[in-house]
């Protein structure tokens, strides 16, 4: 096994760890609606999580590019928010083991990091690698949350229809990992959850709930969801209240609803990405209308599960 980038905890015997799926969740890439962060927090808080391995963070991140927080009190430094990239052993509601790899996305050594993860996959007999995050889309929050599914093998996606054609996008370690695993004939699947672009900077719990359900479907895990369902309902009510109190916001949401419904009927457009001319406001126009709204919704700490 690669021993330069990760080490097992002293109280962990790798040989005693049982197989299961692996959820990969690196901070730092696009995560509209805080989809991944809410999902990870929910899983860690609602499950009996045990750290079984940690990665050599000093060789992987650029401290000057994203300086960790410290606390200074009067005459001295008192605390330091240590960055950590950790592998957790988790169990679902039926006792099935799964793993969660979570922490800051490495700035350096992506290919070496992938080889280290592949060592873990082989050693722990990981059955499937899964990821989920949020991406901003011109969709209303009042309609079912959609997603773009992608995988190393199309059989993992099932009958989900693609939204995009061929596009060039910024890479991430998670997307490169999925590509490399596919090249090696290993299974990996990801879900890019569609978050209304006017909520991209806020906490949108329905997106995290959608991600959780997608992971359950593809892995067969029985993951806890009660707290996340409750948090999503509260979040939904808060957003509805803000929209109802602002006529311009309501009109913008109504325009997106019409666009969404036309797409579903397949009458005028082949894609959610196409425009409908003057009937639909541009992203910049909607962004301006929602500036105060986002400040109100986004300034509060997202409800914890």
- Kindly report the pTM of this predicted structure: 0.84
**89-109 as b/e, with b when 16 or more CB fall inside 10 Å?**
bbbbeeebebbbbbbbbbeeb
Contact 90, 99 (CB under 8 A): yes
State the fold for domain 6-224.
Answer: Rossmann fold (3.40.50)
pLDDT at residue 74 in the model: 96
pLDDT per residue, tens digit, the chain (305 aa), is 445 799 999 999 999 999 999 999 999 889 999 999 999 999 999 988 999 999 999 999 999 999 999 999 999 999 999 999 999 999 999 999 999 999 999 999 999 999 999 999 999 999 999 999 999 998 999 899 999 999 999 889 887 777 777 888 889 999 999 999 999 999 999 999 999 998 999 999 999 999 999 999 999 999 999 999 999 999 999 999 988 888 888 888 888 888 888 877 764 544 445 444 444 444 455 445 544 544 544 444 444 44
The DSSP line for the chain is ---SSEEE-TT--GGGPPP--EEEEEETS--GGGHHHHHHHHHHHHS--EEEEEE-GGGT--TTTSPPPEEEETTEEEEE-----EEEEEE-TT--EEEEEEEEPPSS-HHHHHHHHHHHHHHHT---EEEEEEEEES--TTS---EEEEESSGGGTTTPPPS--S------HHHHHHHHHHHTT--EEEEEEEEEGGGTTS--HHHHHHHHHHHHHHH------HHHHHHHHHHHHHHHHHHHT-HHHHHHHHHHHHHHHHHHHTSS-S-TTS--GGGS--HHHHHHHTHHHHHHHHSSPPPP-
First to last CA, the chain: 36
173: nearest Cα among 181, 161, 165: 181
pLDDT at residue 201 in the model: 92
pLDDT at residue 266 in the model: 67
Domains of the chain, by residue range, sit at 6-224, 234-298
């Amino acid at each position: 096994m690669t021993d330069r980038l990760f080490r097992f905890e002293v109280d962990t015997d790798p040989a005693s760890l049982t197989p299961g799926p692996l959820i990969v969740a690196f901070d730092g890439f696009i995560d509209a609606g805080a989809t991944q962060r809410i999902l990870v927090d929910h899983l860690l808080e609602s499950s009996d999580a045990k750290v079984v391995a940690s990665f050599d963070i000093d060789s992987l991140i650029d401290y000057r590019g994203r300086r960790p927080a410290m606390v200074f009190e009067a005459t001295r430094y008192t605390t330091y928010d240590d960055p950590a990239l950790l592998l957790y052993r988790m169990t679902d509601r039926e006792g099935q083991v799964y793993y969660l790899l979570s922490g800051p996305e490495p700035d350096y050594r992506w290919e070496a990091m992938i080889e280290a993860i592949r060592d873990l996959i082989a050693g722990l007999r990981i059955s499937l690698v899964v990821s989920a995050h949020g991406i901003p889309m011109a969709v209303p929050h009042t309609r079912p949350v959609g997603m773009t599914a992608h995988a190393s093998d199309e059989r993992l996606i099932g009958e989900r229809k693609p939204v995009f054609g061929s596009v060039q996008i910024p890479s991430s370690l998670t997307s490169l990992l999925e590509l490399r695993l596919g090249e090696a004939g290993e299974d990996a699947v990801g879900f890019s959850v569609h978050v209304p672009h006017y909520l991209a900077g806020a906490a949108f719990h329905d997106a995290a709930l959608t991600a959780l359900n997608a992971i359950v479907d593809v892995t067969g895990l029985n993951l806890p969801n009660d707290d996340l369902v409750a948090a999503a309902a509260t979040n939904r009510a808060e957003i509805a209240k803000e929209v109802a109190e602002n006529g311009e916001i309501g009109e913008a949401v109504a325009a997106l609803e019409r666009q969404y419904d036309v797409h579903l009927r397949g009458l005028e457009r082949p894609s959610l990405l196409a425009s409908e001319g003057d009937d639909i406001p541009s992203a910049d126009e909607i962004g301006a209308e929602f500036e105060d709204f986002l400040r109100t919704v986004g300034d509060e700490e997202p409800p914890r599960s």
